[in-house]
Structures are given as structure tokens and as C-alpha cells.
């Protein structure tokens, strides 16, 4: 009897067996096709409010867990591009928070300084990328959940404007403003992932000239700590030295829009998403998360409609300010607190973390976060924002500025 041997791909091959050789040839062709895919072999960790077929989705709440037979639309798109899903990651429960501390699975800490918070709610995905456990993190971002942890972990975070990527298969936080986002060590990989998720309309489109950036003066930096102020102003100077043209604008209408996200009637969408479950199972939910979401139950339809009208007015005012620029360049967060500081005052510290991020999705803006050195020994990231529908131009600016902001030096002209 002939002894079977293994071919190079592990396919059984008997001497002279034509059928076995055909199987091996087919496997080789399949492998060759897979290797040509844009994300072939890229490993991805998925935030646990996004469905992965066969793996429970808990949204950071074990009692809420369910299991789907189908991937979320975003996971399916990454798989089609050749990516390999390696698992799910921790998050602030129900994506309610910017700290990474609100989870029964434990506090997610900074990848390098464990006394500091990781940032959230996409905390686990960001730390997994920062530690090199995966190439890409798939995340969500409603108020800054993909951007704050990117800044604190010294990695790249990118999201198109709301509505550009499908949120099918994502546990809603605030459905009108939820976005899928990506996290990566490298801006080129982040860009490839965005294109895999949303198609060529999200591909970078070269500017052919130095970028024009809207920035803010020191008096507009709000709660940013002194080290952060110095880091931001130094980043502005670096891009100017390399040819970028910068002009100051006011953040007033942007901040007003940001306050609407969780300080007004829109928070009722969180109650619509998971409020009934929390009301029925209050002891099984993180107390801070339960308090925030259940408080929205009494919001009226009139208040909700009035806030949509107010947001429409603010959007026109805000987006007129940087209309002549390619992007708005801001700090990502006011500072990176310790775990102890957040646990001592979980609501106030969380609210402060979203100072620069909460307005992006209500105003339908795309955003990139890029590493920009350190501030008082903690990683510092800046954020580029642009109008929805112009993601390609914003991506071009981000790819061009990344080496300059990271201190590598690059010519922008």
C-alpha cells in the first residue's frame, strides 16, 4: 500500500494520485489569490460591541451576551480583504465612557504605564495594538471612543464621518452618531483598513500643495494641562516649519455642538438601545453606566426634536469656520489621568476627556488621531478633523503629517 505524503500546504498527496494533486493545486491557487488581498494576513482584534460570527458579543456586560451566526458588516469587509480575526477585546460597558475603567472584566490600563488609564471605550482594542498583540484594532467611536485611547496609547486612530460605514452588527450607543473606527500602529495600515471597510471613496487623494490647517490659540485650549499646551503648540510649530499654512479659528460652535451629545436629549438614544435591559437587570450593570443611561428615560420627544434643530444651526456655523482649510488640528484630550483619579470622580473626569472629541460625530466630521510625542512623560496625540464626504483629502493630510508630528521630519511642499 502506498504511503501518503504531505504537500507544501499540508494536503494529502499519494504517489501518482491525480485527485490529490488537483486538490493541492486548487489550494495553491486559493492561497495566491488570498495573498493578493490588501489586508492579507493582517491580524485584527475586535471591540466586543461588534459581532463576530460564533463568538459571544457582551458589550462589556456578561448578562447581556448573545451569539450571532453572521459577522458585523465591518468584520465581514475586513475578512474579504484578507484580514484574520483573532478575538474580541474589553471596553467600557455598552461603550459608555472614555476611560477604559467601566467593565466587569477589569480596568484596562495604559500599555506602558499601568497606573494610567488606557482611554476608552475602545480600550482593549487600543491596548492590544499598542502591545503588538495584533496589527489592527476594530473599534467604535461615538464621542471619542476610538480617538482618546489612540492618543493615550501612542497609536493611530481613524474614522470617517457618521454614515460612511455600516454599523450593522454593532450594539448601538447613540445610533444617530455611532461610527466604526480603526486603530493601528501605522497610518498606512489604518488607511488600507478604511478603504477595505468603505471603498475607494475613503482613499487618500494627494493635495499637490502644502496643507492648510485651522488651529486654535492658547486661549482656546480650555482644560488642556500645561504640558499638553506645550506639546500642542510645538506640534503646530513643527508643521509650520515644514510648510503647512495655519490660521486660528474659534472652537465655540464646535464645543456647543459637543455638549449636545450627552448633555442634552440625544442621550435618550442610549436608553432606546439598552435601557430596558438595564432597567430589568440593574444589579448586573456597572453602576455609573446604569445611572447615565437610566437618567435618559424621562427625556421628551419635544426636547429631542428641539436639539436636532439646534444641532442643524450649530453645524452650519461650525463648519463655516474651517471652510478654507484642509483640516482642523486639535489636541485629542486634555490630559491622561491615573486610574485612581478616574475612580475617585468617574463622571467629571470622563466628561473632561471628551472636550475636543464629542462634537465630531454630531457635526458629521471625519477624524484622524496621530502620535505627536509626549507631554510630561505621557503620550500625546493630536487630532485632524475634516468635513464628512472629504475623507480622501483628510487621509492625504494625515499621511503627510504623520512623520512630521512623530518627529521623523518630512517635507510638506
Q: Which residues are annotated as catalytic?
A: 47, 121, 145
What are the φ/ψ torsions at residue 248 (nearest 5 degrees)?
A: -85, 140
Q: Take residue 163 and report the three cell numbers written for it.
A: 454614515
Residues in the chain: 413
DSSP 273-337: HHHHHHHH-GGGS-HHHHHHHHGGGG--HHHHHHHHHHHHHHHHHHHHTTTTSSEEEEES-S---
Q: Take residue 11 and report the three cell numbers written for it.
A: 494536503
DSSP 102-169: --TT-PPBPSS-TTBB--SSSHHHHHHHHTTS-SEEEEEESSSTTHHHHHHHT-EEEE--TTSS--TT
Q: Are 258 and 362 in contact (CB under 8 A)?
A: yes
CA distance linking residue 170 with residue 146, whole number of Å: 14
Strand 212-215 with 156-159, pairing:
unpaired
Q: Take residue 171 and report the three cell numbers written for it.
A: 450594539
Q: Report helix angle 287-294 to 268-280, nearest 10.
A: 120
Can you count the helices (H) and strands (E) in the chain?
A: 13, 12
What are the φ/ψ torsions at residue 161 (nearest 5 degrees)?
A: -65, 160
Burial 374-383 (b: 16+ CB within 10 A, else e): ebeebbbbbb
| Chain centre distance of CA 256 | 22
CA distance linking residue 105 with residue 36, whole number of Å: 38
Amino acid at each position: 500500500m502506498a504511503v501518503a505524503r504531505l504537500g507544501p500546504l499540508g494536503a494529502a498527496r499519494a504517489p501518482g494520485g491525480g485527485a490529490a494533486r488537483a486538490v493541492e493545486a486548487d489550494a495553491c491557487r486559493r492561497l495566491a489569490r488570498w495573498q493578493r488581498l490588501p489586508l492579507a494576513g493582517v491580524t485584527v482584534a475586535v471591540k466586543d460591541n461588534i459581532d463576530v460570527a460564533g463568538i459571544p458579543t457582551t458589550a462589556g456586560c456578561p448578562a447581556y451576551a448573545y451569539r450571532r451566526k453572521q459577522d458585523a458588516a465591518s468584520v465581514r469587509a475586513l475578512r474579504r480583504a484578507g484580514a484574520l480575526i483573532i478575538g474580541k477585546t474589553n471596553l467600557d460597558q455598552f461603550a459608555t465612557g472614555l476611560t477604559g475603567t467601566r467593565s466587569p472584566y477589569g480596568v484596562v490600563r495604559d500599555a506602558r504605564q499601568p497606573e494610567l488609564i488606557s482611554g476608552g471605550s475602545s480600550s482593549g482594542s487600543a491596548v492590544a495594538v499598542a502591545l503588538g498583540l495584533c496589527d489592527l484594532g476594530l473599534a467604535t467611536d461615538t464621542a471619542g471612543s476610538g480617538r482618546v485611547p489612540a492618543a493615550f496609547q501612542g497609536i493611530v486612530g481613524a474614522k470617517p464621518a457618521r454614515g460612511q460605514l455600516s454599523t450593522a452588527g454593532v450594539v448601538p450607543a447613540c445610533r444617530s452618531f455611532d461610527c466604526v473606527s480603526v486603530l493601528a500602529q501605522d497610518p498606512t495600515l489604518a488607511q488600507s483598513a478604511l478603504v477595505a471597510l468603505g471603498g475607494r471613496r475613503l482613499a487618500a487623494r494627494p493635495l499637490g500643495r502644502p496643507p492648510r490647517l485651522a488651529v486654535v490659540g492658547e486661549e482656546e485650549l480650555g482644560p488642556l494641562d500645561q504640558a499638553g499646551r506645550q506639546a500642542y503648540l510645538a506640534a503646530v510649530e513643527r508643521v509650520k516649519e515644514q510648510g503647512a499654512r495655519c490660521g486660528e479659528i474659534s472652537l465655540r460652535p464646535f464645543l456647543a455642538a459637543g455638549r449636545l451629545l450627552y448633555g442634552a436629549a440625544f442621550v435618550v438614544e442610549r436608553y432606546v438601545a439598552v435601557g430596558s435591559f438595564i432597567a430589568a437587570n440593574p444589579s448586573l450593570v456597572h453602576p455609573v453606566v446604569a445611572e447615565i443611561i437610566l437618567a435618559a428615560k424621562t427625556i421628551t420627544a419635544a426636547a429631542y426634536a428641539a436639539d436636532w434643530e439646534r444641532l442643524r444651526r450649530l453645524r452650519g456655523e461650525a463648519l463655516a469656520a474651517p471652510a478654507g482649510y484642509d483640516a482642523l488640528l486639535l489636541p485629542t484630550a486634555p490630559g491622561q489621568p491615573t486610574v485612581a483619579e478616574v475612580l475617585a470622580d468617574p463622571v467629571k473626569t470622563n466628561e473632561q476627556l471628551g472636550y475636543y472629541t464629542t462634537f465630531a460625530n454630531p457635526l458629521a466630521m471625519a477624524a484622524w488621531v496621530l502620535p505627536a510625542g509626549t507631554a510630561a512623560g505621557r503620550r500625546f496625540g493630536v487630532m485632524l478633523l475634516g468635513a464628512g464626504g472629504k475623507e480622501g483629502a483628510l487621509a492625504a493630510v494625515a499621511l503627510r503629517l504623520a512623520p512630521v508630528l512623530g518627529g521623523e521630519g518630512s517635507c510638506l511642499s
